[in-house]
Amino acid sequence: MQLLSIRSMEERIKFLVAKFNSGELSAVEKAELQRLVEDYPSMVSAEITDLLYASESNSELPAAVDQHKWNKVLGKILAVDRHLTVKKSPVKIYLKWIAVAAVLALVIAVVLRIQTGGKNKDSFATDIAPGGNRATLTLANGKKISLNEIAEGELIREAGLSISKAANGQLIYHIEKNTSTADDTGVNVISTPNGGEWQIRLPDGSSVWLNAASSLEYPINIGSTTLRKVKLKGEAYFEVAKDSKHPFIVETAEQKLEVLGTHFNVNSYADENLTKTTLLEGSIRISEIINPAASEILKPGQESVLSATGIRIKDVDTDESISWKNGYFMFNNEKQESILRKIARWYNVKVEYADEEAKDVMYYGTVSRFDKISQVLRKFEQTGEVRFDIDKNKITVYKK
Amino acid sequence: MALKDRGKEHELIKEIVEGSEKAFSVLFYSYISVLYPFALKFTKSEHAAEEVIQDAFLRIWLNRDKLDHVENVKAYLYKYVSNECLSHLRKKMKEDKAIDLLKSRHSDLDNVTWDAIHLNEVTRLIASVVEKLPHQRRKIYELSRGEGKTIPEISEILGLSSSTVKNALVIALKKIRENLIQHGISLFWLILLGISIKK
């Protein structure tokens, strides 16, 4: 390799970077550029900056800025160093009950003080780690694979598909080009335990984030069927690959949801009485399974709530419904009882109430999903309304 | 819509340094219509381009106190974005070898949640730093990044001078960066100080 002057080195880099930008690099040039990137990163970066300045005067008019997308990105950026906290919701309180509760609280406090010797700081007997990536994949032949135990890049082969685990854990389906007679009519099921979550990319290119205690059943040939129908228990966030010729259908216990190509969240746990569907982008049609004629169309920013009395639609803060996927618990005037059900699924604990009134305390705020449970519960305690005891995997809730 | 008025941009930068999310968003939107199309052409992937923009601006946000000393805001932003593109270039060249091993209908192996997990880790590390801040500094931080209060507002609430409040926020930010770097998450590009400064 001859010695090149800095000037001609810059020109060479400029030439190669421009070719990379227009997608015309040959294999040999690619190898050369790779080496230059390793050896002279600042020069390569400078050439990229030049290209950027040059692109300012592009004759192509920039497309309209997608505010929705960029607001999401901005939201993510600004949230990393935001301070998360929980505040008690200002709610109408019935005076009669305050008086009674206050008296009770006083009595209990006195009794406790005597017993515990006036110890003010609670110390949790045990602490519990948050959930993480845990899931089981059941293949068409019934074989179960524990996904957290297989290595990154490892392939599972079934019926003309190979399933690999990407670096971040996401399960990706690939269609193998050279398939023999493949029987691809079976279903796969991916399920998460309490304390588990997982992300998967289905054979049709749709991405699904599964929350704790949930399961998703889908046909292996979903990439080529007329209808892309999946069955969900629990909660999942979907980014459905656009394909208007092949509607995507999500079935839960009570609800059927039809999609063309969109991003939405479905919350349908058996121990919650409602099926909530929140739409972020696109358009979906919701109907009750027992009453398919009555259907509703959802627009972005709306949430449908399906209960025994039918379907109700309202405008919501979509960030709240997908906060779990972004690593938070976010609540907006939510009751302690409902919040603790979510916490129970994620930390795999049981919740018991020593005082029924504790169930009704309402909160708004945000808490990280990746803290240990003691840190999360302490934030609630700091509002002065409730107190917790942790014993092994049982949480007991007291009203202060 | 680039901010032609240098004076206005200067005001905006001052607010960003003090932690204004709104000012940061305005800056973001004033440059996105040049930056995103460039990133899109360079990476040839909507997702990768979004990641380039997100990571560049995340670094700028976490280094916002340094904006105080920046003469040319556009050059500063462009350098951050170029460096993210460089990082993408590096990754892409390595990946291209691996892609050939997997025959795939979806050639875009970019991990959709890679950024989400990355951000979660950053968020968690930052929260742990904030938790350990000394009482007054922490209170100042909470008022700024928890309740969105401006420096004058915080001064009034806590009865402190503006410079005390501003210093506290800068120190908190520095501690955050130290912690992230300790955990292998680099936040600024040493090559910004690099040799060939073209413009």
Query: What is the pLDDT of chain A when averaged over all its residues?
Result: 82
Which residues lie across from A171 on neighbouring strands?
A165, A200
Q: Inter-chain contact A80–B119, Cβ cutoff 8 Å?
A: yes
Which pLDDT score, from 0 to 100, does residue A2 have? Answer: 57
Which residues lie across from A234 on neighbouring strands?
A268
Residue A186: pLDDT band by 50, 70, 90 thresholds? confident
Per CB-CB distance under 8 Å, the chain B contacts of A85 are 142, 146
Per CB-CB distance under 8 Å, the chain B contacts of A81 are 61-62, 123, 126, 130, 145, 173, 176
Contact present, A381 and A122 (Cβ < 8 Å)? yes
Residue A184: pLDDT band by 50, 70, 90 thresholds? low
Contact present, A210 and A238 (Cβ < 8 Å)? no
- Chain A: nearest CA to B126, how far in angstroms? 6
The residues, ordered by sequence, that sit 6+ positions from A247 with a Cβ below 8 Å of its Cβ are: A227, A228, A258, A259, A260
A327 three-state secondary structure: coil
**Closest to A221 in 3D by CA, of B108, B109, B105, B110:** B105
- A58 φ/ψ sector (left φ>0, alpha ψ -120 to 50, else beta): beta
Domain boundaries, chain A: 6-55, 86-121+327-399, 132-321
Which pLDDT score, from 0 to 100, does residue B47 have? Answer: 84
> What's the average model confidence in pLDDT over A381-399?
91
Alpha-carbon separation of residue B19 from A203, A323, B63 (angstroms):
44, 23, 11
Per CB-CB distance under 8 Å, the chain A contacts of B176 are 81
Please give the interface size between A and B, counted as residue pairs whose CB atoms are below 8 Å apart.
Answer: 180
Lowest mean pLDDT among A340-349, B50-59, B123-132: B123-132
Which pLDDT score, from 0 to 100, does residue A117 have? Answer: 35
> What's the average model confidence in pLDDT over A294-311?
90
Task: Name the burial class of residue A37, with classes exposed (0-12), middle (13-18) and buried (19+) by CB atoms within 10 angstroms of its CB.
Answer: buried
Q: CA A51, B184, B166: angle at the middle one, nearest 5?
A: 80
Residue A62: pLDDT band by 50, 70, 90 thresholds? low
Residue type, B185: I
Q: What is the pLDDT of residues B17-76, one digit of tens each?
A: 999 998 999 999 999 999 999 999 999 988 889 999 999 999 999 999 999 889 899 999
Q: Is A27 on the interface with B (CB under 8 A)?
A: no
Residue A119 has pLDDT above 50, yes or no: no
Interface of B with A in 52-71 (CB under 8 A): 53-54, 57-58, 61-62
Q: Inter-chain contact A74–B24, Cβ cutoff 8 Å?
A: yes
Mutation pick from B90, B93, B170 vs chain A, by most beta carbons of A within 10 Å, is B93
Mutation pick from A8, A26, A77, A199 vs chain B, by most beta carbons of B within 10 Å, is A77
Sorted by where each starts, the structural domains of chain B and their CATH numbers stand as 1-110 (1.10.1740.10), 113-199 (1.10.10.10)
Q: Which residue of A has its CA nearest to B56?
A: A77
Which pLDDT score, from 0 to 100, does residue B199 have? Answer: 33
Which residues lie across from A315 on neighbouring strands?
A302
Residue A61 has pLDDT above 60, yes or no: no
> What's the average model confidence in pLDDT over A145-157?
78
At A241, give phi and psi (nearest 5°). Answer: -65, 130
The span from the CA of A394 to the CA of B129, in Å, is 29
Q: What is the ipTM score, two decimals? A: 0.84
Per CB-CB distance under 8 Å, the chain B contacts of A50 are 198-199
Residue B146: pLDDT band by 50, 70, 90 thresholds? confident
> What's the average model confidence in pLDDT over B177-188?
77
Per CB-CB distance under 8 Å, the chain B contacts of A205 are 105-106
Which pLDDT score, from 0 to 100, does residue A348 have? Answer: 94
Q: Inter-chain contact A168–B113, Cβ cutoff 8 Å?
A: yes
Residue B164 tokens read as 């005390």
Q: Which one of A92-101, A118-127, B120-129 scores highest in mean pLDDT?
A: B120-129
Residue B113 has pLDDT above 60, yes or no: no
Q: Which residue of A has its CA nearest to B76?
A: A49
Residue B4 has pLDDT above 60, yes or no: no
Q: Which residue has the higher pLDDT, B96 or A29?
A: A29
Lowest mean pLDDT among A261-265, A297-301, B10-14, B181-185: B181-185
Per CB-CB distance under 8 Å, the chain A contacts of B127 are 84, 368, 371
> What's the average model confidence in pLDDT over B107-121?
46
Contact present, B150 and B14 (Cβ < 8 Å)? no
Q: Is A53 on the interface with B (CB under 8 A)?
A: yes
Task: Name the burial class of residue B43, with classes exposed (0-12), middle (13-18) and buried (19+) by CB atoms within 10 angstroms of its CB.
Answer: buried
**Closest to A281 in 3D by CA, of A313, A255, A259, A249:** A259
Q: Which residue of B has its CA nearest to A76?
A: B119
Residue A394 has pLDDT above 60, yes or no: yes
Q: What is the pLDDT of residues A221-257, one digit of tens each?
A: 888 888 899 999 999 999 898 887 888 999 999 999 9
Residue B168 has pLDDT above 60, yes or no: yes
Topology classification of domain A132-321: Jelly Rolls (2.60.120)
Residue A355 has pLDDT above 80, yes or no: yes
Q: Which one of A170-184, A246-260, B106-120 scores highest in mean pLDDT?
A: A246-260
Which pLDDT score, from 0 to 100, does residue A33 have? Answer: 93
Per CB-CB distance under 8 Å, the chain A contacts of B149 are none
The span from the CA of B154 to the CA of B139, in Å, is 9
Per CB-CB distance under 8 Å, the chain B contacts of A42 are 191, 194-196
Q: Inter-chain contact A80–B191, Cβ cutoff 8 Å?
A: no
Residue B14 has pLDDT above 90, yes or no: yes
- Chain B: nearest CA to A56, how far in angstroms? 6
Per CB-CB distance under 8 Å, the chain B contacts of A43 are 195-196
Residue A390 has pLDDT above 50, yes or no: yes
Q: Inter-chain contact A77–B109, Cβ cutoff 8 Å?
A: no
Residue A7 has pLDDT above 50, yes or no: yes
Q: Which residue of B has its CA nearest to A164?
A: B102
Mutation pick from A22, A33, A42 vs chain B, by most beta carbons of B within 10 Å, is A42
- Chain A: nearest CA to B82, how far in angstroms? 5
Contact present, A337 and A359 (Cβ < 8 Å)? yes
Q: Which residue of A has its CA nearest to B143?
A: A83
Residue A123: pLDDT band by 50, 70, 90 thresholds? low
Residue A313 tokens read as 């639609």
Residues in chain B: 199
Please name the member of A30, A46, A77 whose beta carbon is closest to the beta carbon of B58: A77
Architecture of domain A86-121+327-399: 3-Layer(bab) Sandwich (3.55)
Percent of chain A clearing pLDDT 70 (strictly above): 84
Lowest mean pLDDT among A54-58, A262-266, B36-40, B119-123: B119-123
What is the number of other CB atoms lying within 10 angstroms of the CB of residue A278? Answer: 24
Which pLDDT score, from 0 to 100, does residue B129 have? Answer: 92
Mutation pick from B24, B61, B65, B111 vs chain A, by most beta carbons of A within 10 Å, is B111
Which pLDDT score, from 0 to 100, does residue A181 have? Answer: 46
Residue B123: pLDDT band by 50, 70, 90 thresholds? confident
Q: Is A368 on the interface with B (CB under 8 A)?
A: yes
Which pLDDT score, from 0 to 100, does residue B159 have? Answer: 94
Q: What is the pLDDT of residues A14-57, one digit of tens each?
A: 999 999 999 899 989 999 999 999 888 889 999 999 999 999 88
Residue B112 has pLDDT above 80, yes or no: no
Per CB-CB distance under 8 Å, the chain A contacts of B115 are 76
Q: Which residue has the higher pLDDT, A389 or A364?
A: A389
Q: What is the pLDDT of residues A277-294, one digit of tens each?
A: 999 888 899 999 988 888
Same fold, A86-121+327-399 and A132-321: no
